């Protein structure tokens, strides 16, 4: 996972990394300059490296009708993301780490750029907008402390612009070898937005109210995508890692799944509020496996082993920023 972001603020802490932007944004036709942060985690199959990358620097973007690029450099390294529609190159390099990935189309239905978004307070235009590729192919190599690993698999990409206080959320994306795809998103408000601790268990884990929720499932055999807004999510813990259970039913269509995380990366992103207090979100990423899955639409039904191998990643946040 690699996160590339900027924020209109005087200072922000990402875990214990203090970022104080000093480059004022400049935008002209086809080009922009500003300051950004690159943050990354890496799971090698046994161990989670967090942070894998965490640094900031001056950033430039350039774009035209069919291609674009973003580049951030500092004294330690260089980080680049460039290309055109569903044909992207990612390079990140410093003395300890190098990532070089080519990201291209996988299946046409899932490699199309999809816009989405949500407005929570219409009169104030508070909400978010998003562009996403639901599933792409990825290949290349990663160097860590002198060891080079060739990698090949799939990727998910999204670009998000937020214009509001960030509510807590649950999110996951699932990609099957057959081309099936599922994603759920649940935004919540309530007591957990006040949480400011790293531990999973908390006396403030109550009082959540969903303000937006949906599951999207793409059936590769029908070549059709279904959306269900009536859904529920629960979680339980094993070895201090969550198992998310999701279920939804609407217009005769049913979806349910149990997703078990097997590692965790947590980013605490916070800003100063009233001295000396800093408040922010705890942004948890969980690589996960599917324990149980069911999709039913009339006589058509898929269970866990009917759609091939599945890659899954879950998110859960608390706090607010």
> Where does residue 209 fall: left (phi above 0), alpha (psi -120 to 50 degrees), or beta otherwise?
beta
**Rounded CA separation 283/320 (Å):** 10
Return the SS3 of 52.
strand
What pLDDT, on a 0 to 100 scale, did the predictor assign at position 252?
93
What pLDDT, on a 0 to 100 scale, did the predictor assign at position 244?
98
CA separation, residue 295 to residues 93, 246, 303, 306 (Å): 42, 12, 7, 10
Q: What is the mean pLDDT of residues 88-100?
A: 95
**Rounded CA separation 113/145 (Å):** 35
**Rounded CA separation 174/100 (Å):** 24
Instruction: Indicate the average pLDDT of the chain.
Output: 93
**Rounded CA separation 1/172 (Å):** 14
Percent of the chain with pLDDT over 90: 84
On whether the pTM is more than 0.85, the answer is yes
What pLDDT, on a 0 to 100 scale, did the predictor assign at position 273?
82
Q: What is the mean pLDDT of residues 215-240?
A: 95
What residues form DSSP beta bridges with 121? 126
What pLDDT, on a 0 to 100 scale, did the predictor assign at position 121?
65
**Rounded CA separation 225/256 (Å):** 16
CATH superfamily name and code, 165-321: AttH-like domain (2.40.370.10)
Nearest alpha-carbon partner for 77 in 43, 40, 44, 50: 40
What pLDDT, on a 0 to 100 scale, did the predictor assign at position 64?
93
Q: What is the DSSP-derived secondary structure letter of residue 166?
A: P
> Does the pLDDT value for residue 117 go beyond 90?
no
Q: Are 3 and 268 in contact (CB under 8 A)?
A: no
Q: Are 233 and 245 in contact (CB under 8 A)?
A: yes
Query: Of residues 164 and 32, which shows the higher confidence score?
Result: 32
- Residue-wise pLDDT tens digits, 118-176: 786 665 667 889 999 999 999 999 998 889 999 999 999 999 998 877 789 999 999 99
**Rounded CA separation 219/296 (Å):** 11
What residues form DSSP beta bridges with 294? 256, 303
Report residue 201 as tokens. 């268990």
CB count in 10 Å sphere of residue 26: 10
Q: Are 89 and 83 in contact (CB under 8 A)?
A: yes
Parts of the chain belonging to CATH 2.40.370.10: 165-321
Q: What is the DSSP-derived secondary structure letter of residue 177?
A: T
> Does the pLDDT value for residue 310 go beyond 80?
yes
Q: What is the mean pLDDT of residues 10-27?
A: 93
Q: What is the mean pLDDT of residues 223-228?
A: 95
> Does the pLDDT value for residue 67 go beyond 80?
yes
Report residue 131 as tokens. 């562009």
Evaluate the CA torsion angle 300, 243, 131, 116 in order and state its sign: positive
Read off the pLDDT band of 302 (50, 70, 90): very high
């Amino acid at each position: 996972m690699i996160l590339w972001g900027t924020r209109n603020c005087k200072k922000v802490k990402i875990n214990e990394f203090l970022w104080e932007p000093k480059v004022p944004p400049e935008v002209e036709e086809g080009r922009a300059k500003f300051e950004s942060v690159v943050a990354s985690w890496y799971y090698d199959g046994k161990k989670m490296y967090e942070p894998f990358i965490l640094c900031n620097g001056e950033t430039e973007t350039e774009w035209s009708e069919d291609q674009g690029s973003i580049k951030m450099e500092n004294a330690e390294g260089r980080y680049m993301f460039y290309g055109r529609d569903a044909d992207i190159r990612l390079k990140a390099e410093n003395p300890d780490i190098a990532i070089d990935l080519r990201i291209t189309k996988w299946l046409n239905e899932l490699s199309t750029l999809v816009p989405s978004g949500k407005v929570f307070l219409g009169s104030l235009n508070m909400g978010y907008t998003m562009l996403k590729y639901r599933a792409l192919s990825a290949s290349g190599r990663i160097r860590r402390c002198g060891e080079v690993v060739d990698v090949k698999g799939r990727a998910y990409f999204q670009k998000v612009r937020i214009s509001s206080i960030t509510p807590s959320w649950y999110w996951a994306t699932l990609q099957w070898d057959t081309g099936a795809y599922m994603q759920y998103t649940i935004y919540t408000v309530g007591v957990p937005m006040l949480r400011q601790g790293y531990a999973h268990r908390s006396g403030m884990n109550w009082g959540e109210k969903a303000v937006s929720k949906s599951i999207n499932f793409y059936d590769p055999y029908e070549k059709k995508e279904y959306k269900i807004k009536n859904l529920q999510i629960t979680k339980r813990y094993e070895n201090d890692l969550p198992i998310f259970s999701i279920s939804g039913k609407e217009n005769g269509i049913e979806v349910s799944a149990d997703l078990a995380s097997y590692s965790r990366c947590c980013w605490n992103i916070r800003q100063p509020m009233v001295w000396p207090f800093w408040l922010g979100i705890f942004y948890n990423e969980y690589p996960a496996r599917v324990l149980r899955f069911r999709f039913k639409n009339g006589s058509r039904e898929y269970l866990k082993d009917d759609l091939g191998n599945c890659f899954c990643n879950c998110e859960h946040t608390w706090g607010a920023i």
